[in-house]
Structure 1
Amino acid sequence: MRTKKSITTDVLVVGSGIAGIKVSIELAKAGKTVLMSTKTQVCSGSSFFPLKASLGTQVTKDDADQVVFLQDIEKVSHNMHDKEMAQIYVKEIRDRVKEYEEIGIEPYTLPDDRKACFAEHDRTIYMLRDWNQIRENVKGIFQEYPNISLLEKSAVISLINKDGKIAGAFLLDKNNDLMMIQCKAVVLATGGFGNIYKHNLNPNDVDGSGHILALEAGASLVNMEFIQFIPGFTAPKYKTLWGEHTLNYCKDFVDEKGNSILDAVLPEELSKEECLEIRSTHGPFTNSLPSKYFDIAMMKEIIRTKSEAGFELMYDQSIYEDKRDFYTIYLDWLQERGVNLVTDRVKIAPFAHASNGGVKVDSYGRTQVEGLYAIGELAGGIEGANRLGGNSTGSCMVFGKRAAENCFDYVNKHELNQLDVQEAESQFKKSIQFFSAKSDHSITPSEVVDAIREIMWFNGNVIRDEKNLQVSIHKIEELKSSFDLSLYVNQKSERKSAFKARNFLVLSDMLLKAMLERKESRGAHYREDYPNEDENYNRRLLISLKNQEVKLEFQS
């Protein structure tokens, strides 16, 4: 595989969700040349994969609310968040939502303040919707900036670190040809890694590629064991987000034979009605509330039976008589998709949704590698053991703006680090050889991906324990020893899938090891063999890559 083309730009932006769009437009406005690479089309990733009628951004009500908002974040985080970034978020988010229209989003404000998921206090919520219109708006805005170039259906597969600084990247274009990008800085905005799970609420491009790019370039990851799982429909409309507030009209939660699955797991002091009532207030699983048994019951039965059909919710007809906006909007949205909660057999199971951790960055999105930034869901910042609802979209705006400002200064102060194509190619090929097993019969990239997604969904889901994690890590090693990356890199049509398989091998290994290392239960991380929160683990877990080996270390 040889480089077919070389492009020079000031900044390479990888990813085209809200974070990538924000940073690209800010840099272009400042006069810098920007090349945006996206695996599908512009406006992609979880930002533009609508799981419900709209997405919300939670906003500080006034100056006095900054302290209260920060307390909300700290409480759900369980000390796993970046405190400086949280302070900056509550201070700056009111100004950043005013800039939504500059990037093609026209939000509307809910008429009444409302509590976001896990929040204890009401505050203003800005709602984002009409994703197709936003995409058209963004395309029009990009046309106003000739210094923004767009590479759709492309995949960045390696970053070039020269003398401790980012100097460029290799990517596969829409034809799977290898291109080299020479640049002064790279901003990664590739989103999370939900697609590594067999059942997830993400598009296929949310696959952890940015995490591997950052790691191999010398950056670290943090909080990777804290993954948000939200029940999704297995039937009648697969991969549809379930609305937790509907539990207020749910009579029971049953298996295929009509038996309640909650009865076997609920402690004596918690009634079924209390469990459902608490669970109706939050979407993701958390070990922090008694409602955890709702999700644990599902996963226990899934592990026991190896069935992925999901479990049935028994709804009362009166749910369709509730005329409050947050019911009617959701129920109407379901109706448009042919789903009726009463007349259909509605089944749910735990789906992977969002990563609370990611690349370790500072409040400007900087990694420890000069010229490398990470923003959006890819970055580990204000989220902790739990994710406070309504902050993910806002973080894209706040830290997208800050990353652009710092990147602008960085680009102005540094000269382009000229690359020798052959030298860069040589280093790149060495990394390919490391994942090229000497096997006469290599498994295919799709076999690697499918096997890992199965392993992660059963053993890296809501319930985790040492035995299954150890077994899973061993299975990943077996897959790695049976996969010849170079074989499929040399097959042009297989190149992108080959690198996805390589990324999944590295990512699954580190995720499982992080889950194993944290021997406690905290927020989204539940260890059945260590069910309680332990003060000895009141630290964030850092992950780095040394000579292709995963290194884990608790932050002091």
Structure 2
Amino acid sequence: MIKEIITTDVLVVGSGIAGLKVSMELAKAGQNIIMSTKTQLCSGSSFFPLKASLGTQVTKNDEDKTVFLEDIDAVSHNMQDREMAKIYIDEIRDRVEEFPEIGIEPYKLSDDRKACFANHGRTIYMLKDWNKIRENVSEIMENYPNISLMERTAVVSLLKQGERISGAILLDRNNDFIMINSKAVILATGGFGNIYKHNLNPNDVDGSGHILALEAGASLVNMEFIQFIPGFTSPKYKTLWGEHTLNYCEDFVNASGNSILDGVLPEGLSKEECFKVRSTHGPFTNSLPSKYFDIAMMKEILSTKSEEGFELIYDAEIYKNATDFYTIYLNWLEERGINLVRDTMKIAPFAHASNGGVKVDSYGRTGVPGLYAIGELAGGIEGANRLGGNSTGACMVFGKRAAQDCLEFVESVNLVKVNSQPENIKISQIIHSFSANTEDSLTPHDVMEAVREIMWFRGNVIRDEKNLLIALEKIEEMKSAFSMEYFVNQVAERKSAFKARNFLILSSLLLKAMLERKESRGAHYREDYPAENEFYNKRLLILLNNGEMKLDFELRK
């Protein structure tokens, strides 16, 4: 089964900002790196241009450190890693200066700006021109002959000798099984938005790293806190909606022209006030009265089963009086042939980012010797809500720290030679456990499309026990109707077969996490438990115990 064994010092899985940062830091220190990426160099959500630019929020001065931490604490609702938040605040000013080292030339906004969910304005650096960044990265990579890039590859299992990581098995661009023998593995595979039917992620953001880490012995945390952000369904599908434009919005209507907010807003909350608050943040949150904006959309979708989205009626003044804050976004839309006033602008909730992920410490260590997780994959400074402008910066801060610790680790251990025969058996066991005894198996495509449909309708903005249990039952039914072995034996279907398997595992653990947290907090909204409950003032951990998924609430200090 294993076609080839390749030896290296460190395997880095993922080539977004986090993967680039950690790979180049280790390569500078003389380590040999293999970088595996599912698509091409510079991939994942880091290089998926949903809007004109991305921002990195930076501590503006020493006095801001306390205020910045207060901002993170306020939105996290006690679900954050406070130590990691402090480290981000202390180190981000230095790390933003290192963006050019990985091909990114950010520009500093002239004035302080409030990031999404932030109560205070601070320094923002903007990242843009993704094609230029790709060109820069390609040129920079020529200076690192000790980084070997493996594009169109998918890591399907991590290897361990005793408790320690010893490498991985991947499918190469020809779908052959390749074994990587390494001293350490750094996962930078991003989130899992692609498990939802409507999402604002590329196809490679599929949660594979979560399953790799979980099965290697790491735990997951905060998986129920998923960001849903309105995106355009028309005139251009899968385009990020700019929430600040709500300040020029007159109404929000369904196909019949009726306002969808009229029957949802509680007494005392006007449509204008709802719009005003909702204009300050992109993702849905239960923490603010603007939650009814997103709840109204999802209620209509669930009752009508229509996914066409809902129309925003804009005032033409947006194009006459808008400041630079608006015109950057409006000009970007115009480049794509979109005009907010001329066109029929419809939006719906799209899955976007995960606030949770692999439980790590401030060096990206997972608790499994030799295994690190960084970027969106890692459950770190984010809590029940994600403070805007921290994601790209966290890739730099914790990418650097993971490289520092990993360097010490690999220099202190010897390479453990792996034997392909036991690993052949392990892969066979993985495949067999997801191979139902059926002559009429669902295809990997069937499985993935069905999972996406289930998750979007039953694990979206609005959640309740009835729908979550129905969803879990449907996932189990699919598992018993999917023969992974049949499709792995078809070489062209191997990557899809593993991805379908991961979808079945990931959807199950997400639904169970949503079910376990019987309250509403931040990005997690339970219609049957609409209030925040002090009993759940603790993070939910997920781990495997003798092959069985176990969920347990972490005691908070």
TM-score (norm 2): 0.99
Offset of residue 4 of structure 1:
1.1
SS in 1 for 2:185: strand
Is 2:270 aligned against 1:294?
no
Q: How far apart, in 2, do the equivalents of 1:423 and 1:286 lie?
A: 47
Gaps of 5+ in 2: none
- Taking the aligned partners of 1:449 and 1:326, their CA distance within structure 2 comes to 39
Q: Does the 8 Å CA contact 1:54/1:127 hold for their aligned counterparts?
A: yes
How much has 1:8 moved relative to structure 2? Answer: 0.3
Deviating more after overlay: 317-326 vs 508-517 = 317-326
Q: Is the 8 A contact 1:520 1:533 kept in 2?
A: yes
User: Aligned residue for 1:107?
Assistant: 106
Write out aligned runs for 1:434-445 (5 A).
434-445=433-444
Q: Deviations over 1:344-386 (max 9, x none)?
A: 1100000000000000000000001110000000000000000
Structure 1: which amino acid aligns with 2:533?
Answer: D
Query: 3-state SS of the aligned residue for 2:526?
Result: coil
How far off its partner does 1:547 sit?
Answer: 3.5
The aligned counterpart of 1:28 is 27
Between stretches 138-147 and 250-259, larger displacement belongs to 138-147
Q: Which whole-Å deviations, capped at 9, do the CAs of 1:16-40 have from their partners, x for residues lacking one?
A: 0000000000000000000000001
How many equivalent residue pairs? 555
Q: Which residue does the alignment assign to 2:527?
A: 528
Residue deviations 1:222-275, cap 9 Å, x none? 000000000000000000000000000000000000000000000011011100
1:500 partner SS: helix
Q: Is residue 467 of structure 1 aligned with residue 461 of structure 2? A: no
Corresponding position of 1:333: 332
Q: Secondary structure at the match of 2:97?
A: helix
Which residue matches 1:152?
151
How big is each residue's C-alpha offset from its partner over 1:200-225, in whole Å with a ceiling of 9 and x where there is no partner?
00000000000000011110000000
Work out whether 1:142 is the aligned partner of 2:136: no
Paired residue for 1:542? 541
- Superposition pairs for residues 23-422 of structure 1, below 5 Å? 23-422=22-421
Instruction: Name 1:503's counterpart in structure 2.
Output: 502
The amino acid of 1:152's aligned partner reads E
Q: Deviations over 1:407-429 (max 9, x none)?
A: 00000001011111111211221
Q: Secondary structure at the match of 2:159?
A: strand
Distance 2:147 2:324 in 1: 40
- Once residues 321 and 514 of structure 2 are traced to their aligned partners in structure 1, the CA distance between those partners, rounded to angstroms, is 41
> What is the Cα deviation at residue 13 of structure 1?
0.2
- Partners of 1:414 and 1:486 in 2: how far apart? 37
- Secondary structure at the aligned position of 1:286 is classed as coil
Tell me whether 159-168 or 383-392 shows the greater mean CA deviation: 159-168
Q: Deviations over 1:134-191 (max 9, x none)?
A: 1111111111011100000110011012201100100011111110000000000000
Does residue 6 of structure 2 align to residue 10 of structure 1? no
For 1:107, the aligned partner's letter is P
Q: Distance in 2 between matches of 1:37 and 1:136?
A: 19
Partner Cα distance (1:318, 1:465) in 2: 41
**CA distance, structure 2, for counterparts of residue 51 and residue 428 of structure 1:** 37
Is the 1:166–1:372 contact (alpha carbons within 8 Å) kept by the matching residues of 2? yes
In structure 2, distance between residues paired with 1:101 and 1:485? 44
SS in 2 for 1:73: helix
Shift of 1:323: 3.6
- Tell me the TM-score normalized by structure 1: 0.99
Q: CA deviation at 1:549?
A: 2.3
> What secondary structure sits across from 2:156 in the alignment?
strand
Distance 1:149 1:136 in 2: 17
Distance, in Å, in 1 between the alignment partners of 2:392 and 2:190 is 11
Question: What is the distance in 1 between the residues matched to 2:237 and 2:276?
Answer: 25
Question: 1: distance between equivalents of 2:322 and 2:272?
Answer: 23
In structure 1, what is the Cα distance between the partners aligned to 2:422 and 2:202? 36
Q: Is the 8 A contact 1:322 1:328 kept in 2?
A: no
Report SS of the residue matched to 2:429: helix
CA distance in 2, matches of 1:131, 1:231: 23
What secondary structure sits across from 2:98 in the alignment? helix
Letter in 2 for 1:404: A
SS in 2 for 1:149: strand
What letter is aligned with 1:451? A
Verify the 8 A CA contact 1:227 1:353 in the aligned structure 2.
Answer: yes
Q: Equivalents in 2 of 1:554, 1:323: separation in Å? A: 47
Q: Which amino acid aligns with 1:515?
A: M
Distance in 2, Cα, partners of 1:143 & 1:337? 33
1:415 to 1:392, Cα distance in 2 relative to 1, 3 A: same
Alpha carbon RMSD of aligned pairs, Å?
Answer: 0.6
Structure 1 gaps of 5+ residues are: none
Query: How far, CA to CA, are the matches of 2:89 and 2:339 in structure 1?
Result: 38
Secondary structure class of the residue paired with 2:478? helix
The residue type equivalent to 1:367 in the other structure is: T
Q: CA–CA distance in 1 between the matches of 2:413 and 2:174?
A: 33
Aligned-residue sequence identity (percent) comes to: 73
Hey, what's the Cα distance between the residues in 2 that align with 1:466 and 1:391?
Answer: 32
- Give the drift of 1:526: 0.1
Distance 1:520 1:65 in 2: 33
CA distance in 1, matches of 2:322, 2:502: 47
